[in-house]
Amino acid sequence: MTVVLIADDNPQNLYLLESILTGYGFATISALNGAEALEKAAKSPPDLIITDILMPVMDGFELCRRWKADPELNQIPFIFYTATYTDPRDERFALSLGAERYVTKPQKPDILIGIAREVLEEAGRERAPQARTTFEEEMESLREYNDVLFRKLQKKVNQLEEEIRRCNQIEENLRESEKFLNNIVEHIPNMIFVKDALDLRFVKFNKSGEELIGLAQGECIGKSDSDLFPKTQAEHFIESDREVLRSKILKDIPEETIQTRNKGDRILHTKKLPILDEYGNPKYLLGISEDITERKELEDFRRSTLLQVEEQIHNLAILNDSIRNPLAVIIALTSMNEGKVFDQITDQAYEINEIVSQLDRGWLESMKIRDFIRKHYS
């Protein structure tokens, strides 16, 4: 079975190349750098070597130079297989070292195997002994090697500089995004706060929060609810926070009371949400609180006003009945007697009855107003 030595410092590349070669009936020996490849080849010479160029300890170029200088190995065909050295000058230098082929990654498996078989077939033919390298040739080879390394180094430096510029731009964009987001958070009219999930200490507090509770950010950051609020209130907030962190879901609290420094007790509508890390564990607790004190007072006022209206309507109905019942008796009695005085009494009674009828119409209108208030403000 044909044995192929493969050298590459990337384990994934080694695995892929091994899979391809063994799939086509080759046996493989693996090495992670040029030095390891030379050591293994000296112990058990392969039929072919396929190597990367950019490797630690000893790169592919130096491996090829030593391979072709070794009488025990120089007749074994040598293939470069690289993704980083793609300049035509790199290929010329590699072939000048004695390599049989220079192949760039990636290649389709059948094409790569075809190249390997072609090289092996060529190696099977009788080859003339290689002439000894002169000092001048060795120096020229070294110069070309240095040129190749310099070009690669320059390319890497350029890539690094471009990467640094890109990273700086990304960092600048992130700073701008963070500044933009902080600006939004600071100017949202609701109180926004963030607590560390571990000990529930404040790590973020916006301006609306400062104005609401009457404390500056510096007085809140790093503090817990126990440091800022009465014991009973703080315990309630902490238990609510722990519940959110345990459940890992949003909690909507329609009403909760908070004691402030300058505004007394305020009623808040609060939503709390756990911020999870990449493993799904709570890292922060986000809270958004809306001061609904005035709204609650207005709702209470509307409610009490509606009750008063309903009470007045009820009293008006009772009053109407209280007037109309005795009035009917008066009209009945006066109509049974004759005389100017009785006629005058009857006329006045009917006028009073008309006034009561107007009150009835007012009562009906009041009922409509009550129904409207119930529909739109209850």
Q: What is the 3-state secondary structure (H, E, C) of 96-109?
A: HCCCCEEEECCCCH
Residues 6+ apart with CB under 8 A from 198: none
pLDDT at 315 over 50: yes
Mean pLDDT along residues 174-179: 88
Q: Do 274 and 341 meet the contact criterion of CB atoms below 8 Å apart?
A: no
How far, rounded to the nearest angstrom, does the alpha carbon of residue 231 sit from its chain's CA centroid? 35
For residue range 240-288, list pLDDT tens digits in order.
999 999 999 999 999 999 988 888 999 999 999 999 999 999 999 999 9
* E strand or H helix that includes residue 272: strand 265-276
pLDDT at 128 over 60: no
Mean pLDDT rounded to a whole number for the chain: 84
pLDDT at 50 over 90: yes
pLDDT at 301 over 90: no
pLDDT of amino acid 314: 72
pLDDT of amino acid 131: 45
If we measure between CA atoms, which residue out of 210, 176, 174 comes closest to residue 192? 210
pTM: 0.50
Terminal C-alpha separation, the chain: 91
Residue with tokens 């709390």: 272
Mean pLDDT along residues 278-304: 89
Q: 50 pairs with which residues across the strands? A: 6, 79
Helix 109-124, helix 11-23: angle, nearest 10: 70
CB atoms within 10 A of CB 241: 21
Instruction: Specify the amino acid at residue 244.
Output: V
pLDDT at 129 over 70: no
pLDDT of amino acid 149: 66
Calpha distance 322→176 (Å, rounded)? 76
Calpha distance 71→215 (Å, rounded)? 84
